[in-house]
Amino acid sequence: MHGKINLTPMESLMKDFLPSPRPRRKTKTTRNIFSDVPDFSSERKMYEWLVERLNSSKLFPNHLFVATPYKADPVDPTRQAIDCGMYHKKLPPKEDLDSETAEMTYNRRVNWSRLEMGIECKLKRTDQDPFDDRSADGEPVAAARKKALGQILSYAELVFKHQQRTSQFMVLFLSHYARVVHFDRSGVYTTHKFCYKTEGALLSDFLVRYSRLQPEHRGLDTTAQRIEADSPLGLAMVKWGEDSNAEDHVKKLFKNSLDSSWAWWKLQVHVEKKHPNQPLPKIEVQEFVVGKPHFQAGGVACRGTRGYVAVRLDEKGELHGPFVYLKDAWRVDHPGIEREGNILQTLNDNTVPFVPTLVCHGDVPGQVTRSQAVWEEANKGKKCRMKKHQHYRVVVAEVGKPLDQFDRGYTLVKAVMFCIVAHAAAYKKAGIVHRDISTGNMLLYKNSDGVWVGLLNDWELAKIVGRNSEARQPDRTGTWQYMSANALNDPSKDIVVPDEIESFFHVLLYLAIRFLPHNLARDSIGRFMVDYFDGCTATQGVYRCGGRKLDAMSRGLIDLRTYNGYPSVLTFYRPDDDESQHPKEQVTHPINSIFKTLLAWLKARYTVDHLVEVQTVINAPAENDRKDLQAVDALLAGLDGLGDDAPTASANGTEEADDVEADPPSPSPLGPGFSSLPSFVMLPARSELPPADAEMREDAEKLQSHSKVIEVFRSQLADNWPQNDKGPDRKPRTAHALQYESDPTAPELDGSSYPTSGKRRLEDPEPQSSSNKRSRIDGAS
Q: Between 697 and 355, whose confidence is greater?
A: 355
Instruction: Please name the helix (run of DSSP H) or strand (run of DSSP E) that holds residue 420, with its range, or none.
Output: helix 409-430
- Please state, in angstroms and rounded to a whole number, the distance separating the CA atoms of residues 404 and 444: 9
Q: How far is CA 590 from the centre of its chain?
A: 31
pLDDT at 70: 87
Q: Are 34 and 49 in contact (CB under 8 A)?
A: no
Q: Between 157 and 637, whose confidence is greater?
A: 157
Average pLDDT over residues 337-348: 96
- Please state, in angstroms and rounded to a whole number, the distance separating the CA atoms of residues 127 and 133: 13
Neighbouring residues of 13: CB distance < 8 A, sequence distance ≥ 6: 180, 182, 189, 191
Helices 591-605, 409-430: axis angle to 10 degrees equals: 40
pLDDT at 33: 96
Q: Are 105 and 153 in contact (CB under 8 A)?
A: no
Which has the minimum average pLDDT: 66-70, 381-385, 558-562, 759-763?
759-763
Residue of 200, 158, 162 whose CA lies nearest to 179: 200
Query: pLDDT of 538-584, one tens digit each?
Result: 887 788 999 999 999 999 999 999 999 999 999 999 987 545 545 44
What are the helix and strand counts (H, E) for the chain? 19, 25
**Cβ-based neighbour number of residue 376 at 10 Å:** 15
- Is residue 354 scored above 50 in pLDDT? yes
Instruction: Please tell me the number of Cα atoms within 13 Å of 97 on its side-chain side.
Output: 0
- Is residue 688 scored above 60 in pLDDT? no
Query: pLDDT of 12-60, one tens digit each?
Result: 999 999 987 765 555 567 899 999 999 999 999 999 999 999 999 999 9
Average pLDDT over residues 357-363: 98
Instruction: Please name the helix (run of DSSP H) or strand (run of DSSP E) that holds residue 453, with its range, or none.
Output: strand 452-456
- Is residue 61 scored above 50 in pLDDT? yes
Query: pLDDT of 477-534, one tens digit each?
Result: 789 999 999 999 988 888 999 999 999 999 999 999 999 999 999 999 999 999 999 9
- Is residue 749 scored above 80 in pLDDT? no
Q: Categorize the per-residue pLDDT at 94 as very low, low, confident or very high, splitting at 50, 70 and 90.
A: confident
- Is residue 473 scored above 60 in pLDDT? no
Average pLDDT over residues 653-677: 38
Which amino acid is residue 13, in one-letter code?
A: L
Q: Are 744 and 769 in contact (CB under 8 A)?
A: yes
- Please state, in angstroms and rounded to a whole number, the distance separating the CA atoms of residues 357 and 394: 11
pLDDT at 625: 83
Instruction: Please name the helix (run of DSSP H) or strand (run of DSSP E) that holds residue 52, with its range, or none.
Output: helix 43-56
Average pLDDT over residues 416-438: 96
**What's the longest Cα–Cα distance across the chain?**
88
Residue of 340, 435, 332, 462 whose CA lies nearest to 386: 332
pLDDT at 491: 82
Neighbouring residues of 751: CB distance < 8 A, sequence distance ≥ 6: 297, 298, 299, 302, 303, 305, 479, 758, 759, 760, 761, 762, 768, 779, 780, 781
Instruction: Please tell me the number of Cα atoms within 13 Å of 16 on its side-chain side.
Output: 29
State whether the Cα torsion 548-551-552-558 is positive or negative.
Answer: negative
One DSSP character per residue, 100-140 reads SSTT-S--BBP-TTT-SEEEEEES-TTTT-SS-TTSTT---
Q: Between 107 and 143, whose confidence is greater?
A: 143
Average pLDDT over residues 167-182: 98
Strand order of the sheet with strand 442-446?
401-402, 442-446, 452-456
Task: Please give the domain boundaries of the chain with CATH numbers for all domains.
Answer: 5-218 (3.90.1570)
- Please state, in angstroms and rounded to a whole number, the distance separating the CA atoms of residues 452 and 69: 48
pLDDT at 585: 53
- Please state, in angstroms and rounded to a whole number, the distance separating the CA atoms of residues 61 and 79: 31
- Is residue 338 scored above 70 in pLDDT? yes
Residue of 156, 137, 183, 185 whose CA lies nearest to 386: 185
pLDDT at 743: 42
Q: What is the dihedral of CA 374, 375, 380, 386, to 10 degrees?
A: -120
Which has the minimum average pLDDT: 79-93, 133-147, 660-674?
660-674
- Please state, in angstroms and rounded to a whole number, the distance separating the CA atoms of residues 472 and 533: 26
Q: 64: helix, coil or strand? A: strand
- Please state, in angstroms and rounded to a whole number, the distance separating the CA atoms of residues 490 and 768: 18
Output the average pLDDT for the chain: 84
Q: Are 442 and 415 in contact (CB under 8 A)?
A: yes
**What is the b/e burial string over 167-192, where b = at least 16 CB atoms within 10 angstroms of the residue's CB?**
bbbbbbbbbbbbbbbbbbbbbbbbbe
Residue of 331, 449, 352, 354 whose CA lies nearest to 400: 354
Neighbouring residues of 753: CB distance < 8 A, sequence distance ≥ 6: 154, 157, 298, 299, 760, 768, 770, 776, 778, 779
Q: Categorize the per-residue pLDDT at 676 as very low, low, confident or very high, splitting at 50, 70 and 90.
A: very low
Burial of 541 (0-12, 13-18, 19+ CB in 10 A): exposed
Which amino acid is residue 162, in one-letter code?
A: H
pLDDT at 561: 96
Q: CA of 598: how far to CAs of 315, 329, 478, 613, 700, in Å?
A: 53, 34, 21, 11, 10
pTM summary value: 0.84
Q: How far is CA 172 from the centre of its chain?
A: 29
Burial of 478 (0-12, 13-18, 19+ CB in 10 A): buried
Which amino acid is residue 317, in one-letter code?
A: G
pLDDT at 698: 86
Q: Between 146 and 666, whose confidence is greater?
A: 146
Query: pLDDT of 576-618, one tens digit each?
Result: 754 554 544 567 899 999 999 999 999 999 874 344 444 445 5
Q: Categorize the per-residue pLDDT at 643 as very low, low, confident or very high, splitting at 50, 70 and 90.
A: low
Q: Categorize the per-residue pLDDT at 106 as very low, low, confident or very high, splitting at 50, 70 and 90.
A: low
pLDDT at 510: 98
